[in-house]
């Protein structure tokens, strides 16, 4: 498969997953503040933007357009961080790799893109918009699984998707622990519990939590589910395990010299996650742990680019 196409499919998976997560995050957080104000007095949008790691970019945008609200910036603006731009990027990549995805997948991505023309920014319209994005991405992933050939490209798509999901889940946990750092008195209190439920909902994990854990919602248990539960399809360990298996299938025909770099990073990361334990992680610093996790995803991404997608061509055989 062409290296350029492989890279594009990887990014298609990443951008679609990112759009889905953004819609979910914005939805849950803004809805949560309708009932109760978040800790620290900041707005729900501030929590969203912090989770997405776009606080600085927003500050930059404000110097150009001082009246730009957070909601506008994150949802409809033409800045690359917005949900709308994320969808537009996914669509332009899909257009470039159209020969490698099915007609059904392309048309669904295209329909999603055509539907992101600016709507209202009142809460009701925004929620309808999030619902559209989430349903469209779910449809696209389903169509992808059921209509795209089982070739290398399909594996690259899934590598991108699971790498992005792993990162997003880690950001959701980090945001609660670090950015929305609760007042010591609050820990275990109703507000704390309420916020942890919002975190679970951001990761579509509330129902999974109820099935896996029978007690009340507590920080360590939520962190355990989102990071280390091997049966929950959005947990960090699950995503990394999926990343490994899709990567192994993607590189079956690829010379070891090219594939080994990312393979090594992914495998070690998976072992480390499987060996870790939520209580220890929280005791020794959850933020540091997540930080390190994200840095290692960055190393994997870099290895893919350097050794597979943009490798300098060697001499042909013979």
Partner 1 sequence: MDLFSGYRARSGYDEMIAPDGTVRSPYRDFRERIQDWDATAFLQRQEIADLDTLNSGITFTVYNDDAGTERIFPFSLIPRIIAPDEWAQLERGLVQRVTALNRFLVDIYGPQDCISDGLIPADMVFDHAAYRLRMAGFRPPQGVYSHIAGIDLIRDSEGVFRVLEDNLRTPSGVSYVLENRRTMLDTVPDLFPLGRVEPVSGYPERLLEMLVAMRPEGVAPDETRAVILTPGAANSAYFEHSFLARQMGIELVEGRDLVVHRQRVYLRATTGLERVHVIYRRVDDDYLDPLVFSPESMLGVSGLVNSYLAGNVTIVNAIGTGVADDKTTYCFVPAMIRYYLGEEPIIPNVETFTGWREEDCAYMLDHLEELVLKPAEGSGGYGIVVGAQASAETLATARDRLRREPRKWIAQPLQDFSTIPTFDGAQFEPRRADLRPFVITGDGSWVLPGGLTRVAANAESYIVNSSQGGGSKDSWVLRKQPES
Q: Per CB under 8 A, does 147 bind partner 1? A: no
The closest of 32, 16, 310, 51 to 179, measured between CA atoms, is 51
Tell me the longest C-alpha to C-alpha distance in the chain.
Answer: 72
Q: Binding segment for partner 1 among 48-56, 195-203, 248-256, 277-285 (CB under 8 A)?
A: 248-256
Identify which range of 12-20, 47-55, 74-82, 251-259 contacts partner 1 by CB under 8 A. Answer: 251-259
Q: Among 34, 78, 117, 253, which residue sits at the site for partner 1 (rule: CB under 8 A)?
A: 253
DSSP for 219-288 reads HHHHHHHHHH-TTSTTSHHHHHHHHHHHHHHHTTTS-HHHHHHHHHHHHHHHHHHHH--HHHHHHHHHHH
Position 4 contacts partner 1 (CB under 8 A): yes
Question: Binding of partner 1 at residue 114 (CB under 8 A)?
Answer: yes
Q: Compute φ and ψ for 310, nearest 5 degrees.
A: -125, 25
111 scored as a contact of partner 1 (CB under 8 A): yes
How many Cβ atoms sit within 10 Å of the Cβ of residue 244?
Answer: 18
Among 72, 107, 213, 292, binds partner 1 (CB under 8 A): 107
The answer to the question of residue 282 lying near partner 1 (CB under 8 A) is no
Q: What HEC string does 177-193 produce?
A: HHHCCCCHHHCCCHHHH
The single residue among 106, 157, 162, 238 that binds partner 1, judged by CB under 8 A, is 106
Rounded to whole angstroms, the Cα distance separating 277 from 120 reads 44
**What is the nearest approach in angstroms of partner 1 to the Cβ of residue 141?**
19
Q: Does the protein bind partner 1 through residue 118 (CB under 8 A)?
A: no
> What is the distance between the alpha carbons of residues 25 and 3, in angstroms, rounded to a whole number?
33
Q: Is 6 in the site for partner 1 (CB under 8 A)?
A: yes
110 is a site residue for partner 1 (CB under 8 A): yes
132: contact with partner 1 by CB under 8 A? no
Stretch of 15-23, 205-213, 221-229, 245-253 lying at the interface with partner 1 (CB under 8 A): 245-253
Only segment of 26-34, 41-49, 222-230, 308-316 that touches partner 1 (CB under 8 A): 308-316
Residues 293, 270: Cα–Cα separation, whole Å: 11
Residue 285, Ramachandran bin (φ over 0: left; ψ between -120 and 50: alpha; else beta): left
How many residues sit close enough to partner 1 to count as binding (CB under 8 A)?
Answer: 30
For partner 1, the closer of residues 4 and 274 by Cβ is 4
Q: Is 185 in the site for partner 1 (CB under 8 A)?
A: no
């Amino acid at each position: 498969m062409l290296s350029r196409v492989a890279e594009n499919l990887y990014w298609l998976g990443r951008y679609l997953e990112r759009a889905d997560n953004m819609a979910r995050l914005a939805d849950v957080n803004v809805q949560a503040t309708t009932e109760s104000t978040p800790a620290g007095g900041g707005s729900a949008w501030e929590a969203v933007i912090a989770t997405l790691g776009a606080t600085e970019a927003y500050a930059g945008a404000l110097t150009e357009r001082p009246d730009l609200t957070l909601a506008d910036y994150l949802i409809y603006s033409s800045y690359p961080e917005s949900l709308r731009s994320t969808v537009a990027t996914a669509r332009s990549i899909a257009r470039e790799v159209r020969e490698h995805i099915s007609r059904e997948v392309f048309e669904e991505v295209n329909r999603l893109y055509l539907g992101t023309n600016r709507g209202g920014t009142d809460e009701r319209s925004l929620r309808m918009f999030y619902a559209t994005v989430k349903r469209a991405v779910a449809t696209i992933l389903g169509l992808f699984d059921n209509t795209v050939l089982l070739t290398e490209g399909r594996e690259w798509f899934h590598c991108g998707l699971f790498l992005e999901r792993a990162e997003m889940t880690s950001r959701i946990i980090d945001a609660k622990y670090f950015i929305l750092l609760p007042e010591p008195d609050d820990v275990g209190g109703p507000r704390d519990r309420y916020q942890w439920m919002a975190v679970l909902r951001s990761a579509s994990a509330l129902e999974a939590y109820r099935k896996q854990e029978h007690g009340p919602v507590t920080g360590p248990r939520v962190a355990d589910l989102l990071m280390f539960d091997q049966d929950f399809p959005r947990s960090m360990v699950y995503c990394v395990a999926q990343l490994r298996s899709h990567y192994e299938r993607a590189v079956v025909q690829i010379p070891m010299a090219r594939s080994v770099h990312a393979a090594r990073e992914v495998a070690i990361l998976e072992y480390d996650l499987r060996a870790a334990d939520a209580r220890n992680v929280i005791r020794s610093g959850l933020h540091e742990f997540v930080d390190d996790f994200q840095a290692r995803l960055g190393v994997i991404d870099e290895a893919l680019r350097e050794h597979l997608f943009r490798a300098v061509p060697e001499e042909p055989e013979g």
